[in-house]
Every structure is written in structure tokens, then in C-alpha cells.
Structure 1
Amino acid sequence: MLIVGAKGLAKELLQVLSIDMNLSDESILFFDNVSHDLPEKIYNRFKILNSFDAVENYFKAYIDKSFVLGLGHPLRREKLYKQFVELGANPIILISKSAEVGDFEVEIKEGTSILAGARISNSVQIGKGCLIYYNSVVAHDSNIGDFVEISPNVTILGRCIIGNNSTLGAGCVILPDVIIGENVKVGAGAVILKDVPDNSTIVGVPGRVIKSF
């Protein structure tokens, strides 16, 4: 199993892979081709691949070509997702054992990670490459787009739509029936009462758009 990334989020996904999935040290590797301050191994146990050539050689040598996205920021996640899929790698769905996912009409697409304490209700759709962080809630009949980043303690209430490549800051609340556009940044602690247009930043209580880009 390859974790794409080797710093903050990657170390948190390691907890799920190593403890929840009970994978051995030898079966978990990290990938980072940009950082210059990394040791040879994470925690002196897990090897780091530092080039795409090394990844290709690894995939040729081993049957397992699975990967998870261990880095933040929607556009970076999308870029690396596509690069690894082009290498023939398989994005997996990673769900912590302590997350709660509804049993009825829940669709979660490949490459999405759901961390400890998150709660996903029934009749929810979650796109590919998403990150749903600790203790966040996605309520019934909501639709989360691709490569959406949901920070800790976010609450998305019923029948909401979150557009592709959007980021929801820690502790924000999206009220029922609200549509968040694509490429939107919602500030930490914001309370969103009405729809938010594409390519905008919204902050505050109640939320107000402070930037369009």
C-alpha cells in the first residue's frame, strides 16, 4: 500500500492502515518527491519512494498497486490522483473503523479517506478523492463532489450539495439545502445560510463572501 505524501496527513492515514487494517511495515510505503528534509524511513520503519521512476519499479515488482492520498489541498490531491492512476495504480477507499457510515443508499467513490469519528448518514453521495476529517458529520441526502476537503468538526446538514475541489474549514456549519459551488473555500467556524457561488471564499457568522477568484 502506497501513501502519496510523507508528512502531516500521510502520518494520520498510517494509523488507519497500520492499526485498523493491520498491514505490516513492509507492505506500507510513502511517496514524496518534493521534500528535502525527510529521513530515509518514516519512524525508522516505513520506506519513502522519492521519484516516479521508483514508484514504477515498485509497481512492477509487487502485485499490490493500491494507493491513498496522504496530502491536503484539493487541486494537489486531484493532480496526484490522476498521475498515479496513469501509472496503473488503484485508488482505494479508506475508512477508519471508528467512523460511522450509513447502511442505506450511501455511495463513496474511489480515493476517498474518512477518518476517525466522522459520521456519514444515509442517502449520501461522496465523490472520488475526498478527505473527510475527524468528527465531521455529513447528514442525509447530501452530495459531496470530487476532491472535496472537509476539515475536523465540520457539520453538513441535510440535502446539501458541495461542489468539486472545495475546502470546508474546521468547525464550519453548512445549513440544510445549501449549495456550495466548485472551488469554494469556507473559513473555519463559518455558518453558511445560503448558496455560495463557484470560485469564492466565504467566512464569518453568518457567512459572507469576501473574495472571488
Structure 2
Amino acid sequence: MQEEGVIKFDLRFSAGEAVALETFRELNTWRSRLWQLALIGQDPERYLGYGFGNVSQRLDTAVNDGNMTPFLISGTQTGGLPELDAAHYALVTACDVMQNRVEARGPVQPSSESLTHGMVYAQSGDIRVVLHVHSPDIWLAADRLGLPFTDAAVEYGTPAMALEVDRLFRETDVMEQKIFSMGGHEDGVVAFGATAAAAGAVLTETLSRCRNIN
């Protein structure tokens, strides 16, 4: 079993103030819904007891001389909390996949899946929200559902996973489906969209489809 929620990249982190909750209230509301659905959470019987699941939203303000649009992401090991506030989110200001490096600031360190989120955002400016959840139902049925999925040999939170995500966007219809399964990350599923509501709807609709074929 892989460790869940452990940061594997070189993190350059600076403590700082939280971004105002008004900036991402819809995302935070959806994060609470996903927790209620047990798609985000923490369970001593699963994943060695680590928290699981994370959400993010791209911001509009450019940083680092305009080289990257930053994104807010829920903090590492916040999965077990039923509700989050602004103090539970970090601002990722740079992702370098090849150097396995993430730069971030805020009141909490960013999720261990920050590299994966960054790679999804790099695919299109139309992608504004990324939701990473854990759904045994969707994960086990991914092939029958026709979902794109990453190589089972590739671990979460690594440059290889980020490159696998890039491959999916080049070689599959993931941009149309707006959801994929992480083959080497037990129960891991990622949905994305222009808004939190759009990405959340993809997840809930896929759950419904999954239950209909089981």
C-alpha cells in the first residue's frame, strides 16, 4: 500500500496570510459536499489512517513575472476535517515538474498532489478547478466506464504522475470527459472544470453511472 498524503516533492514554502475566503467560497462549499459523500476524508481503516482528497482553484492574478497563474489548494492532511476555512488553503505560485519542485505560501503547506493539480492547469486556461477524491466505486469501474486512467506503475505526487497526466491530455479524450482515474493511486480520481459546480457535477454523475453498472 502506498503512503497517502505524504509530500514527495521539493517544497519551497513561505508562511503567509490566507487568501480571502470570498475568493473561493464555491470551491470550499463543494469541498464540504465531497467530505459528506466520503470522497474526501480520513479513516483509520484506509490508507494507513492518512487524510485523503484535495481541491484547488486557479486564481486570476499572475505571479513570478507572469510565468504562471497561481492556484489555491487545500492543505496537506486536511482531509479529516469536515469543514475548512481560508486558513486551510495554500497558494501555489510555481510548479516545476522536471525539478520536482513546488513553491507555495500561506498559513498551511499545500497538498501532496500539488504537482498533479499544476499539470492539469497547464493543459488549458479554461480549467479553473481541480477536485482530487478517493472513490473505490469509480476507481474499480474506470475501465468499464471508459474513463482515461494513468499507468498503474506510477505513484501519486511524483513527476512521473504529472507527466502521466500530460500524456492523458495528449492521447485520450480526457479533456472532453473531464475526469480520469489514477491507476497507481488506490481509489484516486480527478475531475476538473471551469467551476467547482461543473467539476463536482462530473464526479456525482460518474458516481451515478458507476452504481448503475455494478
Q: Higher strand share goes to which structure?
A: 1
What TM-score do the two structures reach when normalised by structure 1?
0.31
Q: Higher helix share goes to which structure?
A: 2
